Amino acid sequence: MTTSLTNRQLADTFTLIANLLEIKGEVIYKILAYRKAAESLEALGRPAADYHREGRLTEIPGVGKAIAEKIDELLTTGRLEFLEKLKAEVPESLAEILQVPDLGPKKVALFWKELGITTLAELEVAARAGKLRNLPGMGEKSEAKVLAGIEALGRRSGRIPLGRAWPFAQELLAMLRQAPGVVRAEAAGSLRRMRPTVGDLDLLAAASDSQPVMEAFTSRPDVARVLGKGETKASVEYTHGLRAQLWVHPPERFGTALQYATGSKDHNVRLRERALKLGLSLSEHALARPDGSEILCATEEEVYQALGLPWIPPELREDRGEVQAALAGALPRLLERGDLQAELHSHSTWSDGKLSIRQMAEAALARGYKLLAITDHSASLGVAGGLSVDELRQQREEIDAVQRELGGKIRLLQGAEVEIRADGELDYPDAVLARLDIVIASLHVSLRQPREKVTQRLINAIRNPHVDIIGHPTGRLLPDREGADLDMEAVLLAAAESGVALEINAHPARLDLEDTYARRAVELGIPLSINTDAHSDSDLDLIHFGVATARRGWVGPEHVINAWDVERLMEWLRARG
């Protein structure tokens, strides 16, 4: 017998083994071997069951003979004796506790061995009763951090980060556009609105005959399960765990279908209200007149036009005043990727980047940028190989040399991403900051400080006259790490007063500043900067995620300093001193 375990289920099994071994205190190389196998299985383009059937399991990266045997046992029997024995030694529920932010395996093992805590609920009860603070290496503050971590874990939605969903959706759309009879295929839902996280992938195709499209969609090699399949709708789960739904509509009705499926729900309510005022009813199929006749819309533009509205970009469709603005002819001209002239936040091999300054400059040049700021980390962020003051001087020499080699093709700036330390001070003295062309100040450490303290740290940096940009303001990492608990209104008011720019970090693990705060920044006249925080050339291609976040915040190019021409940007930097 062979089971129908998906790649995701196999990966979850090996992740669980790694977590339990880590809590047990097993040697690190064994733990890493299971984690590597889990990562490879999750990223695999074909079902692992295919490799198993072909006798090629060891060709999967990170899968050696021992792990191949375990995959074989799982796929053959649906269980793993090794894991059952491990769970008899280390309670499986401890792996859930390991998900609490800032809790490592040693602490989880401590709670288990000293207090008999084996579940998240037991940990919360013990923390609220003050039972953790007297354990070795703990204290009142550590206990409070555990409680805050449990609360943060409870707020996680289980939704998919945009950076994971978007590229796979593009792959599916490319496939659908090649399917027989398809004249158009688009993403819908929160993915099309470019929210930071999404649920299942919603896809729409326009075709007169739905059956060949359905067949192409459900018969991909990486489909683990077909969850449902009808005449015009199908739902599947892929081997890596993502799920997608496809609707197929006749081309002449595709506009209303796409508008409806894109949402948001509240935006659609507004449109239906508008339709009723005009004596119409709006559904996913058509606009209907009182006599029952239909207005068919092949495009979204036709839908909005029939309602007396200009087309509203998907990123704005959250019922935040976009319909009212459209009626008043006051929709903003939103930022586009082509507006950006510069990348102002990038890293090289001088700190934790993968490419040299010359390679980063060439990568930026290849993407049409006219200016690149090299902003490697400052000294105290040791994990990122931050630069000492002496290394900054040496780096300046290299940047100048590369600038001479490239001439006027691109302008290079020496900057730094300067750590805002836990005590509120910046990592370099003002005299060093003054010598840099551009300064980004960022939070990376002590993000769980009380709101008043962490907010004041950020405001201190904002008020430093040498700081030009506040990088990824909250420090969050999607989906696992919440940002600092900032008083954002206080931060925004301080930024408005100082004239510092706030960054919308385009990396899909950050997307920080959030769209709502970006819109508030525009209202307050705060300049914004949209950057990829690039650590490699491929990172530069993530910029569209930041542009989408800006668009969700109603941001136009006039509000973004790296959408200005180079001379205007340089004049702004010089004026800031």
* Pair 206, 273 in one domain: no
Out of 301, 327, 353, a domain closes at 327
In a domain? residue 475: yes
How does 363-376 read in b/e, with b if 16+ C-beta sit within 10 Å?
bbeeeebbbbbbbb
How does 399-438 read in b/e, with b if 16+ C-beta sit within 10 Å?
beebbeebeeebbbbbbbbbbbbeebebbbeeebbeebbb
Alpha-carbon gap, residue 267 to 271, rounded angstroms: 6
What confidence score (pLDDT) does residue 374 get?
Answer: 98
SS (HEC) of 504-527: EECCCCCCECCHHHHHHHHHHCCC
DSSP class per residue in 515-558: HHHHHHHHHHT--EEEE--BSSTGGGGGHHHHHHHHHHTT--GG
* Pair 356, 490 in one domain: yes
At 345, is the secondary structure helix, strand, or coil?
strand
What confidence score (pLDDT) does residue 533 get?
Answer: 97
* Pair 421, 551 in one domain: yes
Q: Collect the ranges in the chain with pLDDT lower than 70.
A: 1-4, 155-158, 383
In a domain? residue 245: yes
pTM attached to this predicted model:
0.81
What confidence score (pLDDT) does residue 240 get?
Answer: 81
In a domain? residue 1: no
Its domain, for residue 267, covers 255-327
- Phi, psi dihedrals of residue 438, rounded to the nearest 5°: -155, 140
User: What's the CATH code of the domain at 186?
Assistant: 3.30.460.10
Q: How far does Cα 528 stand from its chain's mean position?
A: 19
Which value, to the nearest 10 degrees, does the dihedral of the CA atoms of residues 17, 22, 27, 32 take? Answer: 60
Number of structural domains (the chain) is 4
* Pair 276, 399 in one domain: no
* Pair 13, 63 in one domain: yes
Question: Is omega for the bond preceding 190 within 30 degrees of 0, making it cis?
Answer: no
Alpha-carbon gap, residue 457 to 436, rounded angstroms: 21
* Pair 149, 295 in one domain: no
User: What's the CATH code of the domain at 294?
Assistant: 3.30.210.10
In a domain? residue 500: yes
In a domain? residue 46: yes
Tokens standing for 221? 């090699």
* Pair 396, 262 in one domain: no
Alpha-carbon gap, residue 273 to 349, rounded angstroms: 56
In a domain? residue 2: no
511 neighbors 546 (Cβ within 8 angstroms): yes
* Helix 357-366 vs helix 389-406: crossing angle, to nearest 10: 50
Q: Which of 448, 449, 482 is nearest to 196 (CA)?
A: 482
What confidence score (pLDDT) does residue 99 get?
Answer: 84
* Lookup result for tokens 């385009």: 506
In a domain? residue 187: yes
User: What's the CATH code of the domain at 524?
Assistant: 3.20.20.140
- Phi, psi dihedrals of residue 515, rounded to the nearest 5°: -60, -40
Out of 327, 347, 362, a domain closes at 327
Other beta carbons within 10 Å of 461: 28
* Pair 321, 347 in one domain: no
User: What's the CATH code of the domain at 54?
Assistant: 1.10.150.110
* Pair 385, 455 in one domain: yes
243 neighbors 206 (Cβ within 8 angstroms): no
At 233, is the secondary structure helix, strand, or coil?
strand
Which value, to the nearest 10 degrees, does the dihedral of the CA atoms of residues 3, 5, 6, 7 take? Answer: -110
What confidence score (pLDDT) does residue 42 get?
Answer: 81
* Pair 204, 85 in one domain: no
Task: Please report the sign of the dihedral spanned by the C-alpha atoms of residue 125, residue 129, residue 158, residue 516.
Answer: positive
